[in-house]
Structure 1
Amino acid sequence: MSKYFGPLRQLGYVVGDIDSALKYWIDVVGVGPFFFVEDQPLNDFVFRGKPSAPRFSVALAHSGSAQIELIQQHNNEPSAFREFTDRGLEGLQHVAYWTTDFDCHVAESKERGLIELQSGRSGSGAPDERFVYFEESAYPGTVIELSEVSGRKGNLFRAVEAASQGWDGSDPIRDMRKVL
């Protein structure tokens, strides 16, 4: 557990082919069900201090208390995900912590010297659906995300986790938009 952020809640994988990644996680690892959205809604997205409009697909599932996030970007707009794949990388790109005290955690992170990489609002774009990614350290897969889990996004994350409990392998890929 992080003394700064609490328990690690998500492992974020950037992939070149989300369909193949889903197949691997479901058939080989046995994790699911995944909740999938082809075009993740974003609002007020900023990468390295400049507005950007990345388009990407997202799939979410749980293994215990850890959420698995699969991300495939579909355009060349600047983002941490595009930067990762442009370096020839694929796989674990970030770890995420969830918070209901977003402003406090962001301020504390910046006071400790973490540098904002990208930020915005996901889902419906409500004021309580913010996220921020902080610059990675010397090796890939160490980007830190803080994700606000109040409101609808928090409800979605709880529903994804609940669906994984006792999952029997049926209906392995579900429409994320139908959860809420």
Structure 2
Amino acid sequence: MTAPELRCFHIAVVVRDIETTIEAYRRFLGEGAWRTRDMGNGARIAYGSAGGQTWELIQVEGEGGTQFHEFRDRHGEGVQHIGFWTPDIRASVRDALAGGARLVSAGADARGHTVVQLLPAAEVRPQQIESLGMAAWADLGLGGWRLEYIGVSPGERFLKDWLQADYDAIILAKP
């Protein structure tokens, strides 16, 4: 197995309150651009830059079945995943599975947003790999955080559409 060519993109942190966390990041890590978005599944996210790093903040509310609700319920606040650009999301996921990772499978909902579900590696079928969309998460068993693979073409397009003029200020590690 050869490790895929990855480029670190962002650190994602589950937080209790996005606005309070953004204020703290600005106070301690410096000013930077931030954008927030309601994901419609009991989660809000914010992308921003502070301290020379791109951050994704995830605030979940109520009961929910997302991986972010699961993380909050199990761990409280903390680093949930680290995102990496990959030129080939399918090859990256195949390599991760071959190395023993557990896949958090990705598909797209009607709006094109990623929907995820945790699957043991033994249950992943080839058609699930082929249907991967913009992003996929893998649990590598390393310190409680997951690795997120972001496909360069769909991921960059989604972020440019959402962040618009702030894209260059927020996304510090370009694909």
CA RMSD, Structure 1 to Structure 2 (Å) = 3.1
Cα pair distance change 1:80/1:128, threshold 3 Å: closer
Cα offset, 1:160, TM superposition: 4.2
Q: What's 1:8 paired with?
A: 8
**1:149 aligned to 2:152?**
yes
Please show how residues 40-51 of structure 1 align to structure 2 within 5 Å. Answer: 40=39
Distance 1:131 1:20, change over 3 A: same
Stretch of structure 1 that moved more, 7-16 or 155-164 = 155-164
Q: Show the counterpart of 1:24.
A: 24
Q: What letter is aligned with 2:9?
A: R
Q: Given the two structures, how large is their TM-score scaled by the length of structure 1?
A: 0.68
Is residue 134 from structure 1 mapped to residue 138 from structure 2 by the alignment?
yes
In 2, are the aligned partners of 1:123 and 1:153 still within 8 Å (CA)?
no
Question: 1-side partners of 2:93 and 2:165: how far apart?
Answer: 26
Q: For 2:58 and 2:141, locate their aligned partners in 1 and report how far apart those are by CA, in whole Å.
A: 21
How far apart are 1:33 and its partner, in Å?
0.5
How many residues are aligned here?
Answer: 150
Instruction: Give the match for residue 169 of structure 2.
Output: 163
TM normalised by structure 2 equals 0.70
Q: Which runs of 5+ in 2 are unaligned?
A: 114-130
Runs of 5+ consecutive residues of structure 1 not aligned to the other structure:
42-53, 166-180
- CA drift at 1:113: 1.6
Q: Call closer, same or farther: CA 1:159–1:146 in 2, change over 3 Å.
A: farther
> What is the percentage of aligned positions where both structures have the same residue?
23
TM superposition outliers: structure 1 runs of 4+ over 4 Å: 126-129, 156-161
The 3 A distance-change label for structure 1 pair 164 and 95 is closer
Measured in 2, the distance between the counterparts of 1:86 and 1:65 equals: 30
Instruction: Return the match for 1:67 from 54, 59, 65.
Output: 54
Cα drift, residue 68 of structure 1: 0.5
Q: Distance in 2 between matches of 1:97 and 1:158?
A: 21
Q: Which has the higher helix share?
A: 2
Structure 1's 86 and 16: CA in aligned 2 closer, same or farther, altered over 3 A?
A: same
Q: Encode CA deviations 1:73-108: one digit per residue, 9 max, x unaligned.
A: 123122221121112421211111112311121122
Q: Which one of 74, 89, 101 corresponds to residue 114 of structure 1?
A: 101
